[in-house]
C-alpha cells in the first residue's frame, strides 16, 4: 500500500508540473519567495495573496519553505512537458496556486518518507534534511560571509586563475553578482541590466558573469534532468533533497521571452558569489585549493585573535629532533602562554553524494579521509606533547582538539563518527605510543559556527563552550547551539572586526 501511494502521489505531482508553463511558474515562485523574504518589492503585477501570507516566520502556516520552493523548481525543470488544452488555465498570479503546489509536494514527500524512513535510518535522514535546509535558515547577504569567502578564495593564485579562465577578476565577479542580486530581487523577468554612470565598472563584466551563473531555459532543463538522473534510482527517488542546478546557475535566461532573465531565488546569487566560488576553482590545478586551505588557516587565526584578543594563535611550526622533524597541527590557541586548543583546518567541500548518499563515508572516502587524517594528527600531537617530544610550549593536559571546516559538515548527529574514528585509529598505527587518553573526543566545527560563538563570547565563554562540546549531552550539536541552547539567552553580538573594503576594494562603488 505504501509503495502504491508513493507512486500515485509522485505521479500526480509530476503530472501537474508537466502541464505548467515554465516561464510563468518561475515568475510565480519568484513572487512567493519575494513576498516572504522581507523588504519585498511591489508584487501587484505578479501575485494576489492574503495579507497573512506576507510573513517571514518559518513556522507560520502560510509560509512556503525556501527549500520546498527550490525542490519544486528543480522538479519543474526536470519534468518533460505534456501539452494539454485547459478548460480553465492555471492562475499563475494566485497564492492558492502556489499553496496547492507546495502541498502536493509535501504529500509526495510524506508518502515517500513513509516507505523509505523507519527507526533504523531516521537519524541518517535527519542529517540529509539538514544539509538541504540549513542553508535556507541563515542569512545569505552578510558582510561576514562575503569577507570570509573572498579572503579564502579571492586572492593570490586563485584570483589569478579565475581571471585567466573567465576574463574578469573575482572582485568584479562578486560585485556583479551583488548588483544582479539587487536587480533580480526587484523584478522577475527583466532585460539584462547594464553598467551605467556613475559606476565605472567595465560594461562587459555583466555578460562575462552571466556566462558563469546563467543558463538558457532549455539548457537549464537538460542540466537539471541530467543531475537528478545521476543521483536518483528508480527504487529510491528522494524528492526531499534533489541536486540543485540553481545553486550553480541561479539565473535563467530565455531568448524565447525577449532575451530576458530571471533569478527565481535571488539569494542563490550571493551563495554563488561566496561558497560557490569553489566551483570555479575545483577544476583547476591542485595547488589552488592547497593555497585556499592555507588562507583558511590564516583567516581562522586572524578571526580568533580579533574577536578574543587575550588569546594568541600561532600557525603550524616544526619541532622534534634533527633528521625527524615534525609539524604541529594548523593552529595552536594559547591563553597565558599555555596551549588550550589545537585546530586542524579543512577547506574541503563535501560532495552532493556524500551529503545525501546511503553510506556517506563510502561516497566520499577522500574528503572524509582528510577529516580522519586531521583527527589522527591531533591525537599524535597530544601524545607527543605528553611524552615531551613537543616542547616549544606547554600544552594543557585537557587541551581541546578541533576540526575546523570551511563548510557545515556535521549537522544534527555525527553518524559518520565510528567510521572516522576507525580510520583515524588506523592512521595512528605507525605511532604505537598514541594511547587512549590521547585519542580524546574531537570537536567538529564550521568557521561560520565558530564565528557565531566568537561574536557573542569572551575568552572564558569560548573555552566553556568547547568544554560543553565534549559532553555527551551535546553530541552532534553545532557549536553556536551549544553556546546558546534552545536560544534561551539574549546575547549581544559584537560588530564584525574586519572591513569588507580590505578584500573587495570596489565595494564602496557598488554600495554608493
- The neighbour count for residue 406, using CB atoms within 10 Å, is 25
**pLDDT interval class at 22 (50, 70, 90):** very high
Residue tagged 505521479 (cell numbers): 11
The set of cell numbers assigned to 510 is 557598488
- Comparing 77 with 138, the larger pLDDT belongs to 77
Question: What's phi and psi for 442, nearest 5 deg?
Answer: -95, 140
- Can you tell me the distance from the alpha carbon of 159 to that of 156, in angstroms, rounded to the nearest whole number? 5
**pLDDT interval class at 111 (50, 70, 90):** confident
- Can you tell me the distance from the alpha carbon of 223 to that of 241, in angstroms, rounded to the nearest whole number? 17
Helix (H, G, I), strand (E, B) or coil at 443: strand
Per-residue buried b or exposed e for 232-255, using 16+ beta carbons within 10 Å of the residue's own CB? eeeeebbbbbbbbbbbbbbbbbbe
Residue 412: the pLDDT is: 38
**pLDDT interval class at 166 (50, 70, 90):** very high
Residue tagged 565534549 (cell numbers): 470
- Can you tell me the distance from the alpha carbon of 405 to that of 453, in angstroms, rounded to the nearest whole number? 15
The set of cell numbers assigned to 195 is 553598467
User: What number is the average pLDDT over the span 495-512?
Assistant: 86
Residue 356: the pLDDT is: 58
Look at residue 87 and tell me whether its pLDDT is greater than 90: no
User: What number is the average pLDDT over the span 114-129?
Assistant: 70
The set of cell numbers assigned to 176 is 556583479
What percentage of the chain reaches a pLDDT higher than 70? Answer: 91
Distance of CA 252 to the CA centre of its chain: 21
Whether the CB-CB separation of 411 and 481 falls below 8 Å is answered with no
Least confident of 8-17, 386-395, 406-415: 406-415
Look at residue 361 and tell me whether its pLDDT is greater than 70: no
- Residue 356 CB-half CA count within 13 A: 20
- Comparing 222 with 120, the larger pLDDT belongs to 222
Angle at the Cα of 133 from the Cα atoms of 40 and 238, rounded to 5 degrees: 120
User: What number is the average pLDDT over the span 229-234?
Assistant: 68
- Comparing 255 with 353, the larger pLDDT belongs to 255
Question: What's phi and psi for 501, nearest 5 deg?
Answer: -60, -25
User: What number is the average pLDDT over the span 425-454?
Assistant: 94
User: What number is the average pLDDT over the span 290-310?
Assistant: 97
Model confidence pLDDT, tens digit, residues 471-489: 989 887 889 999 999 888 8
Whether the CB-CB separation of 113 and 240 falls below 8 Å is answered with yes
Helix (H, G, I), strand (E, B) or coil at 396: strand
Instruction: Tell me if the bond preceding 198 is cis, omega within 30° of 0.
Output: yes
Strands (E), 279-347: 311-315, 318-319, 326-327, 331-335, 338-346
Helix (H, G, I), strand (E, B) or coil at 288: helix
In SS3 terms, 257-272 reads as CCCEEECCCCHHHHHH
**pLDDT interval class at 360 (50, 70, 90):** low
Look at residue 355 and tell me whether its pLDDT is greater than 50: yes
Residue 38: the pLDDT is: 86
Helix (H, G, I), strand (E, B) or coil at 296: helix
What percentage of the chain reaches a pLDDT higher than 90? Answer: 69
Residue 415: the pLDDT is: 65
Whether the CB-CB separation of 264 and 70 falls below 8 Å is answered with no
- Can you tell me the distance from the alpha carbon of 22 to that of 45, in angstroms, rounded to the nearest whole number? 18
Look at residue 352 and tell me whether its pLDDT is greater than 60: no
**pLDDT interval class at 316 (50, 70, 90):** very high
- Comparing 33 with 356, the larger pLDDT belongs to 33
Query: Could you tell me the pTM of the whole model?
Result: 0.91
- As a whole number, the mean pLDDT across the chain is 89
Model confidence pLDDT, tens digit, residues 442-462: 999 999 999 999 999 999 999
Residue 235: the pLDDT is: 45
User: What's the first-to-final CA gap in the chain, in angstroms?
Assistant: 61
Distance of CA 271 to the CA centre of its chain: 8
Whether the CB-CB separation of 93 and 46 falls below 8 Å is answered with yes
- Can you tell me the distance from the alpha carbon of 403 to that of 331, in angstroms, rounded to the nearest whole number? 10
Residue 370: the pLDDT is: 86
Residue 334: the pLDDT is: 98
- Can you tell me the distance from the alpha carbon of 184 to that of 262, in angstroms, rounded to the nearest whole number? 7
- Can you tell me the distance from the alpha carbon of 99 to that of 78, in angstroms, rounded to the nearest whole number? 21
Nearest to 421 by CA among 336, 500, 489, 361: 361
Whether the CB-CB separation of 186 and 40 falls below 8 Å is answered with no
Amino acid at each position: 500500500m505504501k509503495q502504491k501511494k508513493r507512486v500515485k502521489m509522485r505521479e500526480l505531482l509530476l503530472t501537474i508540473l508537466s502541464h505548467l508553463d515554465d516561464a510563468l511558474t518561475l515568475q510565480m515562485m519568484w513572487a512567493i519567495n519575494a513576498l516572504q523574504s522581507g523588504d519585498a518589492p511591489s508584487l501587484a503585477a505578479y501575485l494576489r495573496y492574503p495579507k497573512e501570507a506576507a510573513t517571514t516566520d518559518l513556522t507560520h502556516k502560510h509560509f512556503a519553505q525556501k527549500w520546498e520552493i527550490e525542490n519544486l523548481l528543480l522538479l519543474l525543470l526536470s519534468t518533460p512537458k505534456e501539452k494539454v488544452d485547459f478548460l480553465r488555465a492555471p492562475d499563475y498570479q494566485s497564492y492558492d496556486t502556489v499553496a496547492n503546489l507546495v502541498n502536493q509536494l509535501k504529500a509526495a514527500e510524506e508518502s515517500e518518507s513513509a516507505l523509505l524512513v523507519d527507526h533504523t535510518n531516521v537519524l541518517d535522514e535527519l542529517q540529509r534534511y539538514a544539509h538541504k535546509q540549513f542553508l535556507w535558515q541563515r542569512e545569505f547577504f552578510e558582510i561576514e560571509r562575503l569577507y570570509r569567502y573572498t579572503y579564502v578564495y579571492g586572492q593570490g593564485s586563485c584570483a589569478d586563475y579565475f581571471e585567466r579562465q573567465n576574463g574578469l577578476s573575482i572582485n568584479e565577479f562578486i560585485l556583479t553578482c551583488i548588483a544582479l542580486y539587487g536587480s533580480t530581487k526587484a523584478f522577475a523577468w527583466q532585460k539584462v541590466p547594464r553598467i551605467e554612470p556613475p559606476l565605472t565598472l567595465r560594461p562587459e563584466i555583466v555578460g562575462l558573469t552571466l556566462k558563469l551563473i546563467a543558463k538558457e531555459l532549455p539548457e537549464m532543463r537538460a542540466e537539471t534532468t541530467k543531475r537528478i538522473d545521476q543521483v536518483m534510482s528508480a527504487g529510491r527517488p528522494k524528492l526531499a533533497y534533489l541536486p540543485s542546478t540553481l545553486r550553480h546557475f541561479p539565473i535563467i535566461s530565455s531568448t524565447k521571452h525577449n532575451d530576458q532573465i530571471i533569478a527565481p531565488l535571488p539569494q542563490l546569487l550571493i551563495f554563488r558569489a561566496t561558497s560557490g566560488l569553489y566551483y570555479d576553482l575545483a577544476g583547476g590545478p591542485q595547488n589552488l585549493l592547497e593555497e585556499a586551505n592555507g588562507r583558511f588557516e590564516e583567516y581562522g587565526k586572524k578571526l580568533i585573535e580579533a574577536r578574543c584578543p587575550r588569546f594568541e594563535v600561532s600557525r603550524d611550526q616544526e619541532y622534534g629532533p634533527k633528521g625527524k622533524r615534525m609539524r604541529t597541527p594548523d593552529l595552536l590557541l594559547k591563553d597565558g602562554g599555555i596551549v588550550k586548543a589545537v585546530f586542524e583546518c579543512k577547506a574541503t567541500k563535501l560532495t552532493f553524494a556524500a551529503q545525501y548518499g546511503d553510506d556517506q563515508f563510502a561516497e566520499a572516502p577522500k574528503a572524509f579521509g582528510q577529516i580522519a587524517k586531521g583527527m589522527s594528527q591531533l591525537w599524535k600531537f597530544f601524545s607527543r606533547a605528553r611524552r615531551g617530544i613537543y616542547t616549544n610550549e606547554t600544552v594543557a593536559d585537557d587541551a581541546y582538539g578541533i576540526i575546523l571546516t570551511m563548510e557545515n559538515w556535521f549537522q544534527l548527529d555525527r553518524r559518520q563518527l565510528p567510521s572516522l574514528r576507525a580510520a583515524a585509529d588506523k592512521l595512528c598505527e605507525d605511532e604505537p605510543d598514541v594511547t587512549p587518553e590521547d585519542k580524546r573526543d574531537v570537536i567538529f566545527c564550521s568557521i561560520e559556527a565558530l564565528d557565531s560563538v566568537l561574536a557573542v563570547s569572551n575568552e572564558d565563554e569560548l573555552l566553556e563552550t568547547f568544554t560543553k562540546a565534549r559532553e555527551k549531552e551535546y553530541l552532534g550539536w553545532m557549536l553556536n547551539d551549544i553556546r546558546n541552547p534552545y536560544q534561551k539567552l539574549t546575547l549581544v553580538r559584537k560588530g564584525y572586526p574586519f572591513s569588507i573594503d580590505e578584500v573587495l576594494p570596489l565595494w564602496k562603488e557598488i554600495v554608493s
